[in-house]
Amino acid sequence: MTGELSPIDKAKFVAARRAADLVEDGMRVGLGTGSTAAWLVRCLGEMVRQDGLKLRGVPTSTRTAELARSVGIEVISLDEAKWLDLTIDGADEFDADLNLIKGGGGALLQEKIVATASDHMVVIADAAKEVEALGNFPLPVEVIPFGWQTTQSLVEETLVSMDVMGRTATLRMNGHEPYVTDEGNHILDLHLGRIGNPRQVAMMLNQIPGVVENGLFIDICDTVIIGYGDGRVETRDINQGTVEHDRLDFVETDNLFTDLAD
């Protein structure tokens, strides 16, 4: 029940609940990956079952697709959708310009493709995800398995000329084996500390042979919905320059998320 949630989970819940209200009947919606996005999928599933909401969801990972189907959301591919009305996703970090670091869940490639194929991208996050400068969260970079160590060396060499505090790249692991993305690639996590010029870093990384995509989302996010543990919600729209505040009440008997394992 929501009454049993930790403050951080309550913050994710209220952000997801508010974002779900943006979804209208008949929309094609990109569904993000990660713990906060999972709350959203459950909220939308409830709206489908209880309110008759009709939407088609384009998931950004196999696990999001499985969750969406399990709660009754119609799942289609991006090729079937062609274009999306809205994408709602989480973020590992966001700054005042709504630039993001994403990819902590390993789905950055599909997440970026889906987000850029949308009329509007909304990020849902708890307040702890807001930072003055991106980079404290390790920046994920998806690389092909062939020659990944050479790619890692090229990445670290490129970072020497960048405005960053750290330059170490580590291969993400899944137990004793390299982590493998849905596209069959590996992920290098860059421990940068602070990124002075995210746009430049994103551009330079994607020019390195072997790099598929990086987790910097620049000029992609339109709106961020920030949840707080006490039920407060703040919505910032960077295009309209607006900031709205609201509060959602928790329903102690709501067991919508009791079986959700993030």
CA angle 142-148-149, nearest 5°? 130
Which tokens belong to 153? 């060396």
The residue annotated as part of the active site, out of 46, 111, 142, 213, is 111
What is each CA distance from 163 to 43, 50, 186, 202, in whole angstroms?
A: 40, 50, 25, 12
111 catalytically annotated: yes
Report the length, in residues, of the chain.
262
> Alpha-carbon distance 16 to 28, whole Å?
17
CA angle 64-137-12, nearest 5°? 45
Binding positions: 33-36, 89-92, 102-105, 129
Binding positions for substrate: 33-36, 89-92, 102-105, 129
Question: How far does Cα 226 stand from its chain's mean position?
Answer: 13
The catalytic residue positions are 111
